[in-house]
Amino acid sequence: MTGVQERATSEGTRRPTRQRAAVAAVLADTDEFRSAQELHALLREGGDKVGLATVYRNLQAMAADGEIDMLRTDEGEAVYRACSTGHHHHLVCRVCGRTVEVEGPTVEAWATRVSAEHGFTEVRHTLEIFGTCATCSR
Amino acid sequence: MTGVQERATSEGTRRPTRQRAAVAAVLADTDEFRSAQELHALLREGGDKVGLATVYRNLQAMAADGEIDMLRTDEGEAVYRACSTGHHHHLVCRVCGRTVEVEGPTVEAWATRVSAEHGFTEVRHTLEIFGTCATCSR
DNA sequence: ATCTCAAATGAGAACGATTGTCAAAATCCT
DNA sequence: AGGATTTTGACAATCGTTCTCATTTGAGAT
Ligand SMILES: [Zn+2]
Ligand SMILES: [Zn+2]
Ligand SMILES: [Zn+2]
Ligand SMILES: [Zn+2]
């Protein structure tokens, strides 16, 4: 689950603010992964005044709390998205950005087994699939 | 295979240079993933004078040609390593950096199936497992 | 409502990895 | 050797992200 989500650490210690709500709201409105800067721009368009640094801070906090998912593009840029709860992975269309959340006992088991075989503990994994969705490939 | 390796595109069109050889050599000497900057530093220590930009260019070219593997750390930094050929994944110790190459028909099949089920084509995937190796966990 | 204090914010500077520029050097081909 | 083409290197420029710190805000006590 590394990189894609984190365990809910110190959760309740967070203060509700207008900015945080705005970030959560814009995330709830989009179903594609978005970068911090893109989200910041969307907020401005929507009339919400939120500092860029604040957007970064909130996204990171939310991701750390497992409220949203974060993954890195091929270029290394962090992108965020509101996701269903629980451990899962993503099937992302590299053309339009459409994302499907996928889950698989198969891979989870495989990852666990392989790690154990090599004596690794406290393992987390990242697994993302990129391709062309049906719509875009037509 | 996205992010971890790329198809061998235009290969033979590359000119052999001292710098390229030096980069390849230092990579062959290390068995852990290293960033471009680290490799550049290692080259200097070894007495090889190679420009930083050149190190970046060569690493990217080699990765694009599938000669070496590249993956991104949690912080988004690109790290490279000379790897065995063929499609595989990595089990990386987040403490000492020790890396084990793992392979699995299981995940490959799963990824293919899941992609197909959702109508995705031209799929590539990234899968890295991070944990604590036996040595470091003792 | 007022007071207090720690947490959160914002504006902008600072950072660090990566990329771009362009003239000089190396390689290839004849 | 001579000219065309690629590669290199020093350094400027990008760009995403983080840091700084003065100011604002939320939550709890009074
Ligand atoms: Zn698409
Ligand atoms: Zn998983
Ligand atoms: Zn280790
Ligand atoms: Zn694979």
* Domain chopping of chain A, boundaries: 16-83, 86-137
Q: How far is CA A57 from the centre of its chain?
A: 14
Contact B74 A2 (CB under 8 A): yes
Q: Residue B11 has what pLDDT?
A: 53
Nearest Cα neighbor of B26 from B64, B82, B70, B77 is: B82
> Domain A86-137, what fold?
Dna Ligase; domain 1 (3.30.1490)
Does pLDDT of B12 surpass 70? no
B119 touches strand D (CB under 7 A): no
Nearest Cα neighbor of B100 from A118, A79, A80 is: A118
A54 touches strand D (CB under 7 A): no
Tell me: the pLDDT tens digits for B37-92?
Answer: 999 999 999 999 999 999 999 999 999 999 999 999 999 999 999 988 889 999 99
- In A, minimum Cα distance to B135 occurs at A119
B15 touches strand C (CB under 7 A): yes
Residue A81: phi and psi, rounded to 5, are -160, 145
pLDDT band at A12; cut points 50, 70, 90: low
Q: Residue A13 has what pLDDT?
A: 77
- In B, minimum Cα distance to A70 occurs at B74
Contact B114 A121 (CB under 8 A): no
Beta-strand ranges (E) seen in chain A are: 34-35, 68-72, 78-82, 89-93, 99-102, 121-132
Global pTM? Answer: 0.86
Q: Residue B55 has what pLDDT?
A: 98
Choose the mutation target among A92, A103, A120, A124 for the interface with B, i.e. most B CBs under 10 Å: A120
Q: Give CATH for domain A16-83.
A: 1.10.10.10
From the CA of B71, how far away is ligand 4's center (Å)? 13
Tell me: the pLDDT tens digits for A13-55?
Answer: 789 999 999 999 999 999 899 999 999 999 999 999 999 999 9
Tell me: the pLDDT tens digits for A72-99?
Answer: 999 999 999 998 888 999 999 988 889 9
Give chain B residues 50-69 with Cβ within 7 A of strand D: 50-54, 57-58
